[in-house]
Amino acid sequence: MNSDRQCRRQSWLVRNRMGLISVAAVAVYAVFVEWIWGWLTLMRQWTEVGAMPILSALALLIATYFVRCYRIYDYFPEQTRGRFLTLLRVTQTHNLLNIMLPFRAGETSFPLLMRTEFGVPLLRGTSALLVMRLLDLHALVIVAAIGLVLGRSQQAAWWLLWLLAFFSPLAFFLLKARVLAVARRLTPGRFGPYFAEIEAGLPEHVSAFLRAWAMTILNWAVKVAILAWVLAIMGVAPFAASFGGALGGELSSVLPVHAPAGVGTYAAAIVAGAMSFGAAGDPATLGMLGRASVNAHLLVIVSAVAGTLLSLALKPKA
């Protein structure tokens, strides 16, 4: 009897290990923040900022989730037509899980949810997710590279290199047919159906790719601008440092590995990004950067939770 109970307990721990890791990491982080700054000090910073800027930033961040949802709505037009609100619930659930679970474990929810709600095969959904994540990473890296170009001599050559990097996704897409033809020849016949599903997860036409690319750039441009503004009103200066901090935080959120709920890694990336773009390194500035980075991270988490609750409240008509 005891052995059966122990096995069930071990089985429950195995099934819920990701959630337990997340809860433990958040709890440790909460204690760390209280020890270093104190939660009352952080909340006081929100009071100093005022309610209107906070609510405005929160509303704008939630608006970016609609842009992100539309990108997928347009990516799978046949499967999602007329079901935007259902898709919003799927994308918000995926976004929240991706934030809260460690090691990108939440990414697995997207193909699973797309199969459950819209009948999109797993391989097709996974292939589409990979394309979108690569576009996300490219958009953030290419914006971050602007700061590097501005600080260089012989800027004409560097701007040319930047433009080549900017248009590289389109160049790769235009080579898609050739790459797929080679891959098809190298793929054993028994893997043909799997390869077909992976190929189906790629944009079919240039216009579809350009729309997905444009939505990606719009989404990240708005989100980074909002977070840069939030960091600026919290005292991060110069504005280039606020911009760098916002970029650093968001880059940490799309990299292959991140902490549960981004605790520690997101705030540290904001500080690193801000210092890379001109923030001072004296103790007083570092303390201010630490507080602002934690509060910016909290705003991102609150917006994700609020966006998910909103998607659940906006039920599609029967």
What's the pLDDT tens digit per position in 5-26?
554 544 544 444 444 454 555 5
**What are the distances in angstroms from CA 289 to CA 45, 270, 282, 312?**
12, 8, 11, 35
Answer yes or no: is 305 within a domain: yes
How many domains would you assign to the chain?
1
User: For residue 119, what is the DSSP state?
Assistant: -
C-alpha span between 285 and 290 (Å, rounded): 9
Q: What is the mean pLDDT of residues 145-150?
A: 78
pLDDT at residue 7, rounded to an integer = 47
Residue 184 lies in a domain: no
Percent of residues, the chain, with pLDDT higher than 70: 81
Q: How confident is the model at residue 91 (pLDDT cuts 50, 70, 90)?
A: very high
* pLDDT number for residue 46: 79
Closest CA to 57 of 216, 260, 242, 277: 242
10 occurs within a structural domain: no
pLDDT > 70? residue 260: no
Does 264 reside within a domain?
yes
How far is it, in rounded angstroms, from Cα 174 to Cα 151? 32
Per residue in 186-237, pLDDT tens? 777 666 677 788 888 889 899 999 999 999 999 999 999 999 999 999 888 8
Among 57, 87, 58, which residue's Cα sits nearest to residue 70?
A: 87
**Residue 219 in domain:** yes
Banded model confidence at residue 119, pLDDT cuts 50, 70, 90? very high
| 301 is a domain residue | yes
Q: Which domain holds residue 97?
A: 21-119+205-314
| Distance (Å, whole) CA 152 – CA 273 | 18
Residues 2-12 as b or e (16 or more Cβ within 10 Å = b): eeeeeeeeeee
Determine the pLDDT at residue 252: 84
Q: Is residue 296 part of a domain?
A: yes
Question: Is residue 238 one of the residues assigned to a domain?
Answer: yes
